Amino acid sequence: MQRWIEELARWMGRLIPDAITASVFMMTALFGAALALGNPPGVILEAWYRGLWMLLPFTMQMTLIIVLGGVVGMAPAFRKGVAVLAELPRTTGQVVAGVVLVNASLSYLSWGLGTALSPIIAICFARAAERKGIAVDFLFLLAAGGAAVAAWQFGLSASAPLLVASPGHFLESMVGVLPLAKTIWTPASILQEVLYVGAVIAAGRLLMPSQRRPLSMFPEAAKVAEQAPAAPAAPASFSERLEHHSFAALLVCASAAAWLYVHFVTLERGADINSLNAIFLFLSFLLHRSVHRVTKALQQAILSCWPVVVIYHLYAGLAGLIQYTNVGERFAGLLAQIATPLTFPLLAALSGAVVSVFVPSSGGQWAIQGFVTAKAAMTLGVSVPRGLLALSVGDHVGNLLTPFWYMVAAGIARVSFREFIGYGMIFAVLWFTIGVAVFTFAPC
């Protein structure tokens, strides 16, 4: 089985193009589908152009999540905390369990935390394991840690559940406001998280390649574990003393903390991407304690966000072709027509998996498929939350299979995404199989 997994990973690494090339082929396929469904060429081009720039704010938000998450990850306090946890495992299985549990816990709190810090955690655990003589395969460990990030889908930053829990959402007239108790806190959602995390730990231990590649085989990745802003030189001028002093950093911390208090306590608003970035900003200045240290950390962390800056717009163009032509609705509607109450979760997950290949945003996917999914669920007598949660299962299949998020993780870890993307198929199968079973039969 291990040899088969290794061959599969190498085969997928050779077969799957990078995210930019993949987006070009996807665009061509969608243009053809839109033409076949009767959309005029001018409408198709306008849909692509509208989509191309519709994620500009979201792209910057994503860039900040990755960069500020990297800044937090370079803080001495964070590194010491991860180092302490990395020293606990005594066996290969314990190393895998440690990486998966830490990443799943962070991702449950926020998908941004998991996305930005997962590669750093895998590197730190792999480094400690190699020093202690524990044999682990770094690339497989990196993939297993990334797979654990799926916990965010039914966590506190779940896009679609947070959206339908907000008054005034675009489907409120149809389904009302759905509290989180009916989505991410149902028995089915909790069961999905527990079973999947356990399955990732088991797969990470049992299917790890027999020929282990330690972290030292990847010198650029090893440097990430050692990265920390260099000790600053003694400030010579008044302006340099201001940059090195903690006063300015504390002012930013105080301002961010005050806003967060007003946002969450006074106004009783929920978590969103902007509030998450505000938390990252607060932690960045709090943990580094000076503008100078934050600036030095930013200069290193900015290297990790390059996949997002352009690629996200190319994927947004694909989302525009689906959203502003009849391609997305026709596809989802076809699946809804052939569904039964028993097969509806499976078909919803399948449709979500296909669309997630083209749409890199979970909130965007719900905007495209939410109406059809909710309408089909109500027609079949299935609860809308069950349809939403099954669609979320499919949504993350795309994250586990397509190169976009692997390129983000690879940029942080400084390895080639082709070296570990093949392992994603293992975890995609686990996620999809467990999710369909849970949201078909468990109460939600």
Q: Give the model's confidence band at 5: pLDDT under 50 very low, under 70 low, under 90 confident, else very high.
A: low
Residue 226 has pLDDT above 80, yes or no: no
Tell me if residue 55 falls in helix, strand or coil.
coil
Tens of pLDDT, residue by residue over 243-262, are 888 999 999 999 999 999 99
**No. of helices (H) and no. of strands (E), the chain:** 23, 0
Distance, C-alpha 72 to centroid of its chain: 17
Cα–Cα distance measured from residue 46 to residue 44, given in angstroms and rounded to the nearest whole number: 5
| CA angle at 350 for the pair 348 and 353, rounded to the nearest 5° | 110
**Winning range, highest mean pLDDT, from 17-31, 283-297, 300-314:** 283-297
Q: Is the pLDDT of residue 166 over 80?
A: no
Give residue 160's pLDDT. Answer: 85
Give the per-residue pLDDT at 143.
96
User: What pTM did the predictor assign?
Assistant: 0.79
Please tell me the distance from the alpha carbon of residue 440 to that of residue 444, in angstroms, as a whole number: 9
Which tens digit of pLDDT belongs to each residue from 172-181?
A: 888 998 988 9
Determine the Cα–Cα distance for residues 329 and 355; give it in Å rounded to an integer: 11
Q: Which residue has the higher pLDDT, 328 or 349?
A: 349
Structure tokens at 44: 């198709």
Signed CA dihedral, 52, 58, 61, 65: sign only: negative
Strand residues in 170-310 grouped as ranges (E): none
Q: What are the C-alpha distances in Å from 125 to residues 134, 280, 409?
A: 10, 23, 16
* Res. 4: pLDDT tops 60: yes
Cα–Cα–Cα angle for 29, 33, 34, rounded to 5 degrees = 115
Nearest CA to 61 out of 295, 309, 252, 342 is that of: 309
Per-residue CA distances from 314 to 49, 195, 234, 339 (Å):
10, 35, 46, 32
Contact between 97 and 129 (Cβ < 8 Å) = no
Q: How confident is the model at residue 13 (pLDDT cuts 50, 70, 90)?
A: low
**What mean pLDDT do residues 160-179 have?**
84
Crossing angle of helices 111-131 and 92-109, rounded to 10° = 160
Return the pLDDT at 408.
83
Q: How far apart are CA 346 and CA 67, in angstroms?
A: 37
Average pLDDT of the chain, as a whole number: 87
Kindly state the average pLDDT of the residues 270-293: 86
For the cut 70, the answer to whether the pLDDT of residue 233 exceeds it is no
Q: What count of Cα atoms within 13 Å lies in the side-chain half-sphere of residue 144?
A: 33
What H or E segment, with its residue span, contains residue 21? helix 19-36
Can you tell me which residue has the tokens 């044999």?
135
Please report the DSSP string for 354-377 in residue order: HHHTT---HHHHHHHHHHHHHHHH
Q: For residue 12, what pLDDT is reported?
A: 67
As given in the structure block, the two tokens for residue 283 are: 């932690």
User: 3-state class of 159 per DSSP?
Assistant: helix
**Within its chain, how far is the Cα of 180 from the centroid?**
20
Region class of 133: left (phi > 0), else alpha (psi between -120 and 50), else beta: left
57-85: per-residue pLDDT in tens?
A: 877 887 888 888 888 878 888 888 998 99
pLDDT over threshold 70, residue 230: no
How far apart, in whole angstroms, are the C-alpha atoms of residue 197 and residue 430? Answer: 10
**Residue 227, phi-psi category: left (phi > 0), alpha (psi -120 to 50), beta (remainder):** beta
Averaging pLDDT over each range in 123-137, 266-280, 396-410, which range is the top one?
123-137
Mean pLDDT computed over 86-114? 92
Determine the Cα–Cα distance for residues 327 and 310; give it in Å rounded to an integer: 24
Please check whether residue 82 is in contact with residue 124, taking contact to mean a CB–CB distance below 8 angstroms.
yes
pLDDT > 80? residue 335: no
The CA-atom distances, in angstroms, between 250 and each of 70, 233, 397 are 20, 21, 42
Q: Residue 102 is encoded by which pair of tokens?
A: 């830490």
Lowest mean pLDDT among 30-39, 232-241, 371-380: 232-241
Residue 22 has pLDDT above 80, yes or no: no
Which residues, including other chains, have CB under 8 Å from residue 415's CB and lie 6 or more apart?
Answer: 139, 142, 218, 220, 221
Q: What is the CA radius of gyration of the chain?
A: 22
DSSP characters for 304-342? Answer: GGHHHHHHHHHHHHHHHHHHSSSHHHHHHHHHHHT--TT
